[in-house]
Amino acid sequence: MFLVMELMESDFKQLLSSVPCTEIDESHIVTMLFNMLCALNFLHSANIMHRDLKPGNFLIDSSCHVKICDFGLSRAFTEKNDADRTLERVHKVKYEKFIRATTDEERKSRFSALSAEMTKNLVELGEQRKKRIRDKTITVSTRWYRAPEIIITDKNYNKAIDIYSLGCILAELVACSKPYSNKKDFDNTDRFLTPGKSCLPISPV
């Protein structure tokens, strides 16, 4: 069985690079943003992080229909599993009983019970984590759309990194909209939210 994506006319990178020859007004931005959010919500509801959202990976047609492409860096993500939740619950219940102990003997007994339960659940948690999908890497996302948690090399990032990338793309759309593109000194190569020192000029398409 083969799935074929219909041909799209362009992508956001070509669109932004063609401004001011191509005009982008507020209604275009609202429509494109809504469609981008719908597409991203579909991915996240399926527990998939794209991890490389950028203008070149958003396809668009003349009706502002949007599709996400290039899933080479995508990865499935998991929320807290049963072992994590069990560990938190046991720790809370047992600890509350421990601090309410009135005698040394009772405190020692409850502490032993707490330690035993914690050890048991830590072993279970370790087994659960072994079955998880391989560790996430920090070498993801194109520089100008890279979330702060990835920049500081935090491997515990989640689907929020895609939202950050989408926000950067939205900033570019706004920077290339009519109120700005109609100015005499407009330069669409200066549209990046976080360009960095090595941002190279992009020739208009």
Q: Which residues are known to be catalytic?
A: 52
* Residue 65 identity (one-letter amino acid): H
Which among 16, 12, 53 is positioned nearest to 144, based on CA atoms? Answer: 53
Phi, psi of 17 (to 5 degrees): -75, -20
The single residue listed with the structure tokens 């998991």 is 78
Q: What are phi and psi of 11, to 5 degrees?
A: -135, 175
- Cα separation, 136 vs 68, in Å, equals 21
CA dihedral 158, 162, 163, 166 (to 10 degrees): 170
Task: Provide the 3-class DSSP secondary structure of residue 48.
Answer: strand
> Do 192 and 54 touch, CB atoms closer than 8 A?
no
> To which residue do tokens 């409850």 refer?
110
